[in-house]
Amino acid sequence: MNSVDLNCDLGEGVVSDAVELALLDCVTSANIACGGHAGDAASIRRLALACVERGVGIGAHPSYPDRAGFGRDSLGMGPKDIASAVESQLRAFVCAIRDVRGARVVHIKPHGALYHDAMRNNAVADAIREAAKAALPEAMLMGQAGAPCLERWRSEGASVVSEAFADRRYEPDGSLRSRKLEGALLETVAEVAAQALSIAHDGQVRLADGSSLTIAAETICLHSDTPGAAESARQVHRVLVANGIAVRPLKWK
């Protein structure tokens, strides 16, 4: 590819405001927590304003309603309850940015367990689509490259964005290694930058056993809570551009 979007998860209360702003100076899309696992109206508005000032695309980052567990555990909720919880978060997000001039929600990216459940469970994916259609029908839905839900969402008329991860280890089946397992995170700046370049330039990611996995992604994620996230973001941006890959915001589809 000759261009790629860089996204990061923000508003989660795990890093300082300074780190979040440093990330926003490097990425082109931001996924802002909207109350389910973290965040509130004030943090949503603050980060939306920072995105507008920098020309960074704004994304809503809903999750299971689980602030205590940071949205990283499946809650066993049924599809109707999931749709209701996600729609509520999206509507709160819209309300929080209503007076931020120029702010528009470009995409929706589920967080944590909700994201991973949607990638492999049609009922969860459908619930997210239902909530998005009700609250933010023009926003694109972001999901993991290669996951069945992308085609499912597309077949239902949604615009979708395929995502890969610069700072997470991949398993041979294309899934991300569980954060409960050793080596789930790539923690050095060099490793993160190398994986981002491999994804964007070659459409490949190296696995722990030395083999490679093919990935076709339109956006690459950098997590704000990965150690050295700001420096990794700066290095990823530099390496991509140095290798002829433009870093650009997502285009409306």
CATH number, domain at 35?
3.20.20.370
pLDDT at 211 over 70: yes
Any domain includes 61: yes
Any domain includes 158: yes
CA 90, 57, 191 angle in degrees (round to 5)?
Answer: 105
Give residue for tokens 């507008």. 52
Gap between the Cα atoms of 110 and 62, Å rounded: 5
Give residue for tokens 């002829």. 244
Summarize the confidence of residues 65-70 as an average pLDDT: 97
Q: What is the pLDDT of residue 47?
A: 98
Any domain includes 252: no
Any domain includes 125: yes
Per-residue pLDDT band for 173 (boundaries 50, 70, 90) equals confident
pLDDT at 209 over 90: no
pLDDT at 76 over 70: yes
Gap between the Cα atoms of 133 and 22, Å rounded: 33
Q: What is the pLDDT of residue 183?
A: 86
Any domain includes 213: yes
Per-residue pLDDT band for 175 (boundaries 50, 70, 90) equals confident
Q: What is the pLDDT of residue 188?
A: 93
Q: Which amino acid is at 159?
A: S
Q: Is residue 196 within 8 Å of residue 239, measured between CB atoms?
A: yes
Range of the domain at 168: 3-247
Summarize the confidence of residues 51-68 as an average pLDDT: 98
pTM of the model: 0.96
Any domain includes 195: yes
Per-residue pLDDT band for 1 (boundaries 50, 70, 90) equals low
Backbone angles phi, psi at 203, to 5 degrees: 65, 30
Gap between the Cα atoms of 223 and 225, Å rounded: 5
Any domain includes 226: yes
Q: Is residue 236 within 8 Å of residue 198, measured between CB atoms?
A: no
Summarize the confidence of residues 151-165 as an average pLDDT: 97
Q: Measure CA of the first residue to CA of the last residue in the chain; give whole Å.
A: 18
Any domain includes 56: yes
Helix axes 112-120, 122-135, angle to 10 degrees: 120
Summarize the confidence of residues 139-150 as an average pLDDT: 96
Count of domains for the chain:
1
In the chain, what's the furthest Cα-to-Cα distance? Answer: 50
3-state secondary structure the chain: CCEEEEEEEECCCCCCHHHHHHHHCCCCEEEEECCCCCCCHHHHHHHHHHHHHHCCEEEEECCCCCCCCCCCCCCCCCHHHHHHHHHHHHHHHHHHCCCCCCCCEEEECCCHHHHHHHHHCHHHHHHHHHHHHHHCCCCEEEEECCCHHHHHHHHCCCCEEEEEECCECECCCCCECCCCCCCCECCCHHHHHHHHHHHHHHCEEECCCCCEEECCCCEEEEECCCCCHHHHHHHHHHHHHHCCCEECCCCCC
